[in-house]
């Protein structure tokens, strides 16, 4: 038996072992069944190939090629089950299974129709196989990456990273197999490593319930892959050109790994931001709920008091100031005002638009009037409003909050000079342009890049939600917002809103 055949025997035995291990976890892990099917498929494929090579009987090659088209669908099934989206994407999964089943069925038919055998294994057959297998495997890989991006539990993140590392090792080994004829089948070695990784990490074996142990396994996996590549480069390559190709492949792979780490770091920041926003939303909803309950009780008490005051004798009055009835009405008005504010902030958090025809100039005048009264900085607040602007279909309260945020930011960024709120009509269409420009300290490149990020602020007491809120509201109105800034020269925020 040749080393290659011995490798096939080892691969078949390992896949059968992993399949049995998966079946042993049925009922305790959702991945147990799809992984068992995948491992049985790999074992049957390898065994058919080995028997065909040992006996020279062509029918075993047809059985081999009847099983191999199922690799892509089974890999996608495993990935979607791991990601928890198998039911949601069952239609695409069914299409991939149908393609694999149809191609595999041709090989079964060829067992009984000799005229079909020349097609099986031909270039056309291989082209059909690759036409859906490569996209299917790529989709499976993206499924694991997507799961990593959405995971919030540290141990689940570590599991996913380890699975991705195993898939990378399998991909690299499979890609260099044609250039290393002196080494046991690297493709099957890579599949074995990847399958072992998914089985051990995903089926909730007790040893892999700790992040530290999963991390150790991941490092062992990486060292194993590097060791195999070094061995291939030293002893297994056919010629110098192939060695250089392997070296280039290794460099590219390491570069992609480094890039993926940066992407993963950015994804982690985004995930943390989304988590903070979700927590803030829940916190805001709880505050609104807690405020509304005592407000309702207070309003009920005030209404009863109003009824009692209405039947008091007319000679019972306050010694000075408003009459008791007027004070009770004032209380009720302020209770309604507080309740309205709570409702408005809840709607602002959810970006729920209540559209009407809005005069942007009127909104700007109202906001500027209020801020002019409260402005104690000495910075001049000016307006330059174009007449005859078309009305916009917008939520007036939210649009006013957008202008309020921008004006307040501009005033806080300025110590002298002026802040100008400007409106104009777009030259190329009927859209309305609203801009707020200050002569303050401006922003550097890093601050400009992150200006619209949630929770990012350069002010010690800033929440970092102002510009992020502005962007979400403008986008909800089907508009766009841009920011231009230079250090020492001020900042210009420009909003474009579609007119009615």
The residue whose two tokens read 């979607």 is 80
pLDDT of res. 468? 79
Q: Are 426 and 432 in contact (CB under 8 A)?
A: yes
The answer to whether 228 and 173 have CB atoms below 8 angstroms apart is yes
* DSSP helix/strand/coil, 389: coil
Can you tell me the distance from the alpha carbon of 150 to that of 173, in angstroms, rounded to the nearest whole number? 29
Q: Output the pLDDT for position 388.
A: 87
First-last CA distance in the chain: 80
Q: What's the pLDDT at 363?
A: 93
Q: How many angstroms separate the CA atoms of 189 and 46, rounded?
A: 12
Tens digits of per-residue pLDDT, 378-432? 788 899 999 889 999 998 888 988 898 899 888 888 887 889 999 999 877 778 9
How far is 224 from 209, CA to CA, in rounded Å? 22
Q: What is the pLDDT, as a whole number, of residue 165? A: 80
The pLDDT score that the predictor gives to residue 242 is 54
Query: What pLDDT score does 349 carry?
Result: 57
Predicted confidence at residue 436, as pLDDT, reads 93
pLDDT reported for residue 337: 73
Tokens of 108: 């079964």
For residue 366, give Cα distances in angstroms to 96, 293, 397: 59, 32, 11
Specify the pLDDT at position 134.
Answer: 81
Lookup: tokens for 372: 């002019």
pLDDT of residue 359: 93
Whose tokens are 């294994």? That residue is: 121
CA proximity to 455, closest of 469, 444, 441, 443: 469
Question: What does the DSSP 8-state code read for residue 203?
Answer: T
pLDDT in tens, 295-332: 777 888 888 888 777 776 655 555 565 677 777 888 88
List C-alpha distances in Å: 18 to 15, 24, 25, 288: 5, 10, 11, 53
Q: Are 461 and 469 in contact, with CB atoms under 8 Å apart?
A: no
Segments of the chain scoring below 50 in pLDDT:
238, 461
**What are the backbone dihedrals phi and psi of residue 391, each rounded to the nearest 5 degrees, phi first?**
-70, 155
Across 284-425, where does the E strand assignment appear? 356-358, 380-385, 392-394, 418-425
Distances (CA, A) of 358 to 137, 341, 353, 391, 442: 52, 20, 13, 5, 31
Helix (H) or strand (E) holding 444: none
Q: What is the pTM of this model?
A: 0.48
pLDDT of residue 344: 57
């Amino acid at each position: 038996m040749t080393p290659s055949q011995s490798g096939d025997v080892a691969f078949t035995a390992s896949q059968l072992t992993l399949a049995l291990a998966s079946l042993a976890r049925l009922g305790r892990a959702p991945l147990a069944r799809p992984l068992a099917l995948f491992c049985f498929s790999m074992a049957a494929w390898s065994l058919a190939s080995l028997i065909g090579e040992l006996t020279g009987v062509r029918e075993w090659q047809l059985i081999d090629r009847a099983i191999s088209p199922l690799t892509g669908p089974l890999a996608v099934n495993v990935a979607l089950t791991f990601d928890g989206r198998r039911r949601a994407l069952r239609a695409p999964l069914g299409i991939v299974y149908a393609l694999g089943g149809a191609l595999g069925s041709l090989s079964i038919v060829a067992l009984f129709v000799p005229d079909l055998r020349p097609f099986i294994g031909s270039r056309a057959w291989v082209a059909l196989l690759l036409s859906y297998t490569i996209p299917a495997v790529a989709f499976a890989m993206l499924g694991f990456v997507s799961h990593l991006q959405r995971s919030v539990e540290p141990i689940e993140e570590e599991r996913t990273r380890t699975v991705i590392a195993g898939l990378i090792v399998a991909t690299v080994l499979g890609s260099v197999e044609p250039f290393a004829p002196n080494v046991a089948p690297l493709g099957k070695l890579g599949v074995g490593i990847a399958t072992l990784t998914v089985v051990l990490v995903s089926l909730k074996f007790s040893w892999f319930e700790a992040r530290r142990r999963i991390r150790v396994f991941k490092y062992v996996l990486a060292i194993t892959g590097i060791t195999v590549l070094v061995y291939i480069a030293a002893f297994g390559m056919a010629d110098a050109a192939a060695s250089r190709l392997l070296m280039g492949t290794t460099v590219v792979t390491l570069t992609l790994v480094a890039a993926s780490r940066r992407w993963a770091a950015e994804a982690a920041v985004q995930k943390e931001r989304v988590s903070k926003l979700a927590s803030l939303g829940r916190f805001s909803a709880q505050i609104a709920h807690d405020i509304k309950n005592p407000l309702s009780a207070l309003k009920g008490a005030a209404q009863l008091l109003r009824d009692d005051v209405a039947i008091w004798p007319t000679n019972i009055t306050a010694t000075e100031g408003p009459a008791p009835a007027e004070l009770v009405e004032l209380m009720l008005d302020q209770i309604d005002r507080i309740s309205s504010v709570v409702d408005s902030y809840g709607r602002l958090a959810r970006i729920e638009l209540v559209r009407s025809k809005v005069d942007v100039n009127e909104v700007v005048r109202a906001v500027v009037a209020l801020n002019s009264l409260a402005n104690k900085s000495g910075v001049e607040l000016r307006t330059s409003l174009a007449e005859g602007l078309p009305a916009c279909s917008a939520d007036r309260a939210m649009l006013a909050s957008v202008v309020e945020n921008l004006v307040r930011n501009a005033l806080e960024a300025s110590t002298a000079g002026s802040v100008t709120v400007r409106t104009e009509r777009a030259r190329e269409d009927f859209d309305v342009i609203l801009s707020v420009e200050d002569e303050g300290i401006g922003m550097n490149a890093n601050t400009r890049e992150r200006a619209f990020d949630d929770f990012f602020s350069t002010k010690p007491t800033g929440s970092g939600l102002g510009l992020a809120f502005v962007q979400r509201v403008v986008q909800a109105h089907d508009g766009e917002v841009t920011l231009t800034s230079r250090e020492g020269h001020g900042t210009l925020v420009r909003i474009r809103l579609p007119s009615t």
